[in-house]
Amino acid sequence: MKRILQPPGWPQAKGYSNGVATRGTLVFVAGQVGWTPEGVFESDRFSEQLRQALLNTLAVLAEAPAGPEQIVRMTWYITTREEYLDQLKEVGQVWRELMGKNYPPMSVVEVSALVESRAKVEVEVTAVIPDES
């Protein structure tokens, strides 16, 4: 079971949580970029690369087995803040489609480049599979 941490008097976070408390089996997923499982970038559009990066993340989580509801920490490394902000509506649609109403604590960090030169986003997560009660 996850408990969302929301300090009194703080405004409600939008699209993420300020913190979460939970216990169980930890699952760490390496940074996933927006290429297919075959290592092919099918688009240079930020929102489409994000969609594929999230699909890749969910595929790794499924091996645990875990899903988006078990994610307790997420970091996005992005190469272009402006492109991210310009596509927020599409980003939100992708999020709702793949992640549902799960809003883990997360950070979005602009970086000068990623190791994969075509990559516009890299997604890294930590998940927790709850202990059986």
Using one digit for the tens of pLDDT, what is the confidence trace for 82-111?
Answer: 999 999 999 999 999 999 999 999 999 999
Strands (E), 1-133: 3-4, 20-21, 24-33, 71-78, 106-110, 121-130
pLDDT at position 107: 96
Where do the domains of the chain lie?
27-130
Alpha-carbon distance 11 to 53, whole Å? 29
pLDDT at position 3: 87
pLDDT at position 18: 86
pLDDT at position 113: 97
pLDDT at position 133: 58
Which CATH code for domain 27-130?
3.30.1330.40
Parts of the chain with a pLDDT under 50: none
**Backbone region of residue 39 per phi and psi (left: phi > 0; alpha: psi in -120 to 50; beta: other values):** left
